[in-house]
Amino acid sequence: MNLAAWPSPGGLFAPLSPLIEGIPFAPEPASLELLSARCDLRSAGGQRLSFVAPQGDGVDYETRIWVRGEVETRPGNWHDFFNALVWLSFPLSKSTLNACHVEAMAVPDARCGRGRDRDALTHFDECGVVVVSSDHSLLALLRGFQWKTLFWERRLDLGRTLRCFVFGHATYEQLLQPFRGLTAKAVLHEVSEDWLRAPLCEQLADVDRRLASEVAAGRHRDPRAFHPLPLLGLPGVTEANESPSYYDDAWQFRAGRTRRRV
């Protein structure tokens, strides 16, 4: 399947669009080779990044990236293919996540269990989304689980003043066939109106810098602190949400306890 021809629900594939438009096929290895040849990215360990088939030599996934710059990528696998695209789209953040994993693994007995910090980082790596808005009230509604107000009553404002940058590669895979209850783990940022008018490439670079800086500073280490974002509530993700009654689904649009701000 050619990903460039796949409909982008609610524009959620936008962060990958500069890459998707430049590849003729996916998720085959030749696409990654084509993309990799255009990039000169480095792992946090200083090695030139490359995407390789699983090696089966016993080297840990995160250690391999740090020491060799090799990201194991199963041929023909959408999950791994999206992981590679996220590496190319958010290289600072992915490198910082890798460095944090390697640092945590160096602690004595750390390999016996991943621990809360690595769990949180992995959750965001798989299912994270960065939500930015120039309207503080929209972010407040998201924090307060006011889903119908956010997604229906403020629908026009969402299109004008809020953007979602999907980071999690598992979420990208799931968006190929969106399903009821599909939820991402969000971190929120308030931005200016000028920021929202900037070219996509500048927005992506800024999101990448912000996220990498936060992770390096020790943030996003509590799995409970992320804000759930039911993606099928966003306009355009599913035709079903074009009716206000769609948001009466209490199983999908759940009330939640107050969470720490992220």
- Average the pLDDT over 176-187 and give the result: 95
* pLDDT at residue 7, rounded to an integer: 62
For residue 10 the two structure tokens come to: 């609610």
In this prediction, residue 31 has a pLDDT band, given cuts at 50, 70 and 90, of: confident
Beta bridge partners of 183: 230
pTM (whole model) above 0.85: yes
pLDDT at 22 over 80: no
Q: Are residues 164 and 242 in the same domain?
A: yes
* pLDDT at residue 212, rounded to an integer: 97
Q: Which residue has the tokens 């959620």?
A: 12
- 129 close to 234: Cβ distance less than 8 angstroms: no
Nearest to 231 by CA among 194, 185, 173: 185
- Average the pLDDT over 21-49 and give the result: 84
Between 72 and 224, where is the model more confident? 72
The residue from 82, 111, 140 where one domain ends is: 111
pLDDT-above-90 percentage for the chain: 69
Q: Are residues 145 and 105 in the same domain?
A: no
In this prediction, residue 118 has a pLDDT band, given cuts at 50, 70 and 90, of: confident
User: Cβ neighbours of residue 67 under 8 Å, at least 6 residues apart?
Assistant: 45, 47, 59
Nearest to 187 by CA among 164, 161, 204, 170: 164
**CA geometry: angle 143, 260, 126, nearest 5 deg:** 80
Provide the CA 239 distance to its chain's centre, in angstroms.
23
In a domain, 257, yes or no: no
- For 46: left if phi > 0, alpha if psi spans -120 to 50, otherwise beta; the answer is left
Q: Are residues 164 and 78 in the same domain?
A: no
Q: Please give, one letter per residue, the 3-state secondary structure of 160-173.
A: HHEEEEECCHHHHH
Q: How many residues does the chain have?
A: 262
Q: State the CB neighbour count (10 A cutoff) for residue 76.
A: 10
Q: Are residues 128 and 244 in the same domain?
A: yes
DSSP secondary structure code for residue 228 in this structure? E
pLDDT at 112 over 60: no
* pLDDT at residue 126, rounded to an integer: 97
Tens-place pLDDT, residues 86-102: 999 999 999 999 999 99
pLDDT at 110 over 80: no
Q: Are residues 68 and 185 in the same domain?
A: no
Task: Spell out a b/e string for 202-214, using b for 16 or more CB atoms within 10 Å of the CB, else e.
Answer: ebbbbbbebbbeb
Between 117 and 142, where is the model more confident? 142
Nearest to 238 by CA among 258, 226, 225, 253: 253
* pLDDT at residue 5, rounded to an integer: 56
Q: Are residues 149 and 242 in the same domain?
A: yes
Domain encompassing residue 88 = 11-111
Q: Are residues 148 and 244 in the same domain?
A: yes
Query: What's the CA gap between 128 and 187, in Å, rounded?
Result: 8
Mean pLDDT is lowest, of 18-27, 76-85, 148-157, for 18-27
| Burial class of residue 237 (count of CB atoms within 10 Å of its CB; 0-12, 13-18, 19+) | buried
Q: What are phi and psi of 214, to 5 degrees?
A: -65, -45
* pLDDT at residue 23, rounded to an integer: 81
Between 2 and 61, where is the model more confident? 61
- Average the pLDDT over 46-71 and give the result: 92
* pLDDT at residue 36, rounded to an integer: 80
* pLDDT at residue 1, rounded to an integer: 53
